[in-house]
């Protein structure tokens, strides 16, 4: 499932919590979870983010009693893969070589990571 719409950093915080929970969540539950992490989230703000994520196709909603329960339609792994592929396509013309070349000589990739990449490529090639 490839999503064409991006999500904001705040929406991603909400999605990360939903992925961590791994179950349906109501607006009040999400407000409590987010506020327990040291930030102040208003009920209406969280409700808006959940509704936006539903409109964008990342979440679905069902009614249980009087409460709306939200659940993910895309896994965190799918999201990361879609984002990585989109970034690779838009920034590096879809070329993994161009992407990795951008790090040549960079302090961001150490010898250990290079060895891990080589091992991954060897495994991928088999």
**pTM for this structure?**
0.79
Domain boundaries, the chain: 1-94, 96-126
Cite the beta strand spans of the chain per DSSP E: 59-64, 67-72
Predicted confidence (pLDDT) per residue in 8-25, tens digit: 999 999 999 999 999 999
Per-residue pLDDT at 62? 96
96 SS3 class: helix
Q: Stretch 95-123: mean pLDDT, rounded?
A: 84
Cβ within 8 Å of residue 34, ≥6 positions away: 13, 14, 17, 41, 46
Per-residue pLDDT at 4? 52
Band of residue 68 on the pLDDT scale cut at 50, 70, 90: very high
CATH T-level assignment (fold) for domain 1-94: Arc Repressor Mutant, subunit A (1.10.10)
Helices (H), 61-95: 76-92
């Amino acid at each position: 499932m490839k999503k064409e719409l991006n999500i904001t950093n705040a929406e991603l915080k909400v999605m990360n919590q939903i992925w961590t929970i791994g179950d349906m969540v109501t607006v009040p539950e999400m407000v409590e979870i987010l506020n327990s992490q040291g930030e102040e989230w208003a009920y209406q703000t969280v409700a808006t983010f959940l509704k936006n994520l539903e409109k964008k196709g990342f979440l679905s909603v069902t009614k249980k009693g009087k409460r709306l329960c939200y659940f993910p339609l895309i896994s965190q792994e799918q999201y990361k893969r879609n984002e990585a592929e989109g970034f690779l396509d838009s920034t590096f013309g879809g070329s993994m070589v161009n992407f990795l070349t951008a790090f040549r000589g960079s302090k961001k990739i150490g010898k250990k990571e290079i060895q891990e990449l080589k091992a991954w490529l060897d495994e991928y090639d088999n």
